[in-house]
Structure 1
Amino acid sequence: MTRRLRIAVVGAGLIGREHARRVLAHPRLELSYVVDPYVDAADTPSGSATALVADLEVALGDVDGVVLATPNPAHRDGALAAIAAGIPVLVEKPIADTVAAAAEIVTAAEASGVPVLVGHQRRHSPLLARAVEVIASGAIGNPVAVMGSALFAKPHDYFDAAPWRREAGGGPILINLIHDIDCLRALCGDITRVQATAGNTVRGFAVEDTAAVVLNFACGALGTFIVSDAAGSARSWEQTSRENPGYDTADDEDCYHVAGTRGSISVPTLRLRTYRGTASWWEPSAVTTIDVRREDPLDLQLEHFEHVIRGNSAPKVTARDGLQSLRVVEAVADSARTGLPVDVPTGRPAPRPATRQTREDSHVVTH
Structure 2
Amino acid sequence: MNTLRIAIAGAGLIGQRHLELILASPTCELVALVDPAPAARDVAQRAGVPLYPSLEALFETERPDGIILATPNQLHVEQALVCLQAGVPALIEKPVAHTLEEGERLLAASADSKVPLLVGHHRAHSPILDQARELIRQGRLGQLVAVMGSALFYKPDDYFDAAPWRRKAGGGPVLINLIHEIGNLRSLCGEIVAVQALASSAIRGFPVEDTVAINLRFASGALGSFLLSDTAASARSWEQTSRENRDYPSYDDEDCYLIAGTVGSLAVPTMRLKCYAQPEDRSWLKPFTCEVAELHREDPLARQLEHFCQVIRGEAEPLVSVRDGLQNLRVVEAIAQAAREGGTVMVAP
* Smaller-chain TM-score bracket: over 0.9
State the distance in 2 between where 1:191 and 1:164 align.
29
Deviation at 1:46, TM superposition (A): 4.7
The AA in structure 2 aligned to 1:312 is E
Cα deviations by residue, 1:181-222 (Å, 9 ceiling, x for unpaired): 000000001000001111111111111001111000001100
- Corresponding position of 2:309: 306
Q: Distance in 1 between matches of 2:45 and 2:148?
A: 40
3-12 or 222-231, which deviates more: 3-12
Contact 2:63 2:88 in 1 (8 A): no
Residues 116-167 of structure 1 deviation map (CA, whole Å, 9 limit, x = unaligned): 1111111111001100111111110010011000000000000000001001
Whether contact under 8 Å (1:143, 1:258) holds in the other structure is: yes
The amino acid that maps onto 2:335 is V
Instruction: State the Cα RMSD in Å.
Output: 1.1
**Is 1:196–1:214's contact at 8 Å kept on the other side of the alignment?**
yes
CA contact (8 A) 1:31 1:46 kept: no
Whole-Å separation in 2 of the counterparts to 1:19 and 1:45: 16
- Give aligned pairs, total: 344
* Residue 189 of structure 2 corresponds to residue 188 of structure 1: yes
The alpha-carbon deviation at position 59 of structure 1 amounts to 2.2
Letter in 2 for 1:287: C
Specify whether residues 46 and 85 from structure 1 end up closer, same or farther in structure 2 by C-alpha distance, changes over 3 A only. farther
User: Following TM superposition, by how much is the alpha carbon of 1:342 offset from its aligned partner in structure 2, in angstroms?
Assistant: 0.6
TM-score w.r.t. length of structure 2: 0.96
Task: Judge conservation of contact 2:44–2:50 (CA < 8 Å) in 1.
Answer: no
| Structure 2 match to 1:9 | 8
Give the corresponding residue for 1:22: 21
Supply the distance in 2 between the matched residues of 1:77 and 1:4 (Cα, whole angstroms).
Answer: 28
Q: Find the residue that maps to 1:79 and give its secondary structure.
A: helix
The verdict on how the C-alpha distance between 1:87 and 1:166 changes in structure 2, with shifts beyond 3 A counting, is same
Q: Distance in 1 between matches of 2:226 and 2:29?
A: 41
Cα distance in 1, alignment partners of residues 345 and 306 from structure 2: 37
Tell me what 2:335 maps to. Answer: 332
Q: 2:73 maps to what in 1?
A: 72
8 Å CA contact retained: 2:27, 2:306 = no
What is the deviation of 1:45? 7.5
Q: Specify the code of the residue in structure 2 equivalent to 1:7.
A: I
- Which residue identity does 1:14 align to in structure 2? L
Counterpart amino acid of residue 179 in structure 2: I
> In structure 1, what is the Cα distance between the partners aligned to 2:290 and 2:46?
48
Rounded to whole Å, the distance in 2 between the matches of 1:309 and 1:271 is 37
SS at match of 2:251: coil
Match of 1:95 in 2: 96
Aligned AA for 2:34?
Answer: V
Q: Deviations over 1:251-306 (max 9, x none)?
A: 22100111000101010001111112233111121111012111000000001000
Q: Is the 8 A contact 2:124 2:184 kept in 1?
A: yes
Q: How far off its partner does 1:39 sit?
A: 4.5
- Measured in 1, the distance between the counterparts of 2:282 and 2:120 equals 38
Residue in structure 2 matched with residue 291 of structure 1 by the alignment: 294
The answer (yes or no) to whether the contact 1:8–1:59 under 8 Å persists in 2 is no
> In the alignment, which residue of structure 1 is the partner of 2:228?
227
* More deviation, 244-253/146-155: 244-253
> Which amino acid letter does the alignment assign opposite residue 82 of structure 1?
C
Tell me the distance in 1 between the aligned counterparts of 2:306 and 2:331.
28
Contact kept, 8 Å, 2:142 with 2:264, in 1: the verdict is yes
- Do the aligned partners of 2:35 and 2:52 also contact (CA within 8 Å) in 1? yes
CA distance in 1, matches of 2:253, 2:305: 29
* Pairing 1:49-128 to 2, within 5 Å after superposition: 50-60=49-59, 61-128=62-129
The structural deviation recorded for 1:177 is: 0.3
Kindly tell me: are residues 137 and 43 of structure 1, through their superposed partners in 2, closer, same or farther at Cα, counting changes over 3 Å?
Answer: same
Deviations, residues 54-112 of structure 1 (Å, cap 9, x unaligned): 11112234211010111111111111111121111111111111111111111111210
SS of the equivalent of 1:112 reads coil
CA separation of 1:276 and 1:247: change in aligned 2, threshold 3 A? same
> Cα distance 1:92–1:198, how it changes in 2: closer, same or farther (>3 A)?
same
Structure 2 residue runs without a partner (length 5+): none
Higher mean alpha-carbon deviation, 229-238 vs 50-59, is at 50-59
8 Å CA contact 2:152–2:232 kept in 1: the answer is: yes
CA distance in 1, matches of 2:228, 2:16: 27
**In structure 2, the residue corresponding to 1:67 is in which secondary structure?**
strand
1:6-63 deviations in Å (ceiling 9; x for gaps)? 1111111110110011111112211111111104232457533x11111111223421
- 2:214 is paired with a residue whose SS is strand
Amino acid at match of 1:257: L
| Percent identity between the two aligned chains | 54
Secondary structure at 2:32 match in 1: strand
8 A Cα contact 1:211 1:226, kept in partner? yes
Q: Do 2:132 and 2:271's aligned partners in 1 also have CA atoms closer than 8 Å?
A: yes
